Amino acid sequence: DAGITQSPRHKVTETGTPVTLRCHQTENHRYMYWYRQDPGHGLRLIHYSYGVKDTDKGEVSDGYSVSRSKTEDFLLTLESATSSQTSVYFCAISDPGQGTNTGELFFGEGSRLTVL
């Protein structure tokens, strides 16, 4: 299994509070991603990073920010959580172009967030 750890795995919070989810990898992969998964929508990309301090928006980035100060850590922050951000959040990693690796995406176990 790819070395990806997400924390916390479960969180319940109230509307308007800030929330930070952490993704930690031990694979030294260049790319890191945050997805959310909701019934009927599948996996949707929130933000991704292609290196330390290099990030870009995905299709559902509004209300989310990210930071990557080290190769191994990628943080997702909800500045002021809303009920529409109740979801399961997945971190993923990829490292295109190294040896036989052709850019497969590997996922963590998910963080289940409930915003009341």
Interacting residue ranges for another protein, rule: CB under 8 A:
31, 33, 35, 40-45, 48, 50, 58, 90, 92, 94, 96, 102-110
- Report the C-alpha gap between 62 and 51 in whole angstroms: 21
Least Cβ distance, residue 104 to another protein (angstroms): 5
Closer residue to another protein in complex, CB, 42/99:
42
- Report the C-alpha gap between 99 and 90 in whole angstroms: 26
Least Cβ distance, residue 90 to another protein (angstroms): 6
- Cα-based distances in Å from 57 to 15, 30, 114: 23, 16, 23
* 65: β partners: 77
Closer residue to another protein in complex, CB, 50/65:
50
Six-digit token string for 87 = 């979801």
Least Cβ distance, residue 80 to another protein (angstroms): 26
Six-digit token string for 56 = 């870009």
Closer residue to another protein in complex, CB, 90/115:
90
Six-digit token string for 72 = 């191994």
Closer residue to another protein in complex, CB, 81/89:
89
Residue 52 φ then ψ, to 5°: -60, 125
Least Cβ distance, residue 16 to another protein (angstroms): 28
